[in-house]
Amino acid sequence: MSVIVIAETPGLDAEGYERIVTEHGHRIDELPAGCTAHFAGPAGEAWRVVAAWDSAEQVAGSGRTVLAPAMWRAGVTPGRPQVFPLHCALTRSEA
């Protein structure tokens, strides 16, 4: 079942986010396998990421084996994301 993930990391900013993405082994403009949408931006004194994934198992696996280690290497303490079932996903493509 597809899921939505919402994560907030206090003290993280755009520069730190981009460093983690690079450390994560990705480019800033690509999605990891299993992730179908990804949005990130400032949220007060934190950085918020909202992403759609194919399954909760993919989120957990990527978080445990790839994302959390990249965050630790970047000096950021990973938080515990919220994971919710995805009922509907709509997108608009620009022609």
Of 3.90.1150.10, 3.40.50.11260, 3.30.70.100, 3.30.750.24, the CATH number of 3-85 is: 3.30.70.100
What residue segments make up the domains of the chain, in order of their start?
3-85
- Residue 33 sits at the vertex; the CA angle it makes with 17 and 41, to the nearest 5 degrees, is 25
Rounded-to-10 torsion of CA 50, 53, 56, 59: -70
d(CA 29, CA 31): 7
| One-letter amino acid of 56 | A
Sequential pLDDT tens for the chain (95 residues) = 999 999 999 999 999 999 888 877 777 788 888 999 999 999 999 999 999 999 999 999 988 988 899 889 888 888 899 999 999 888 777 65
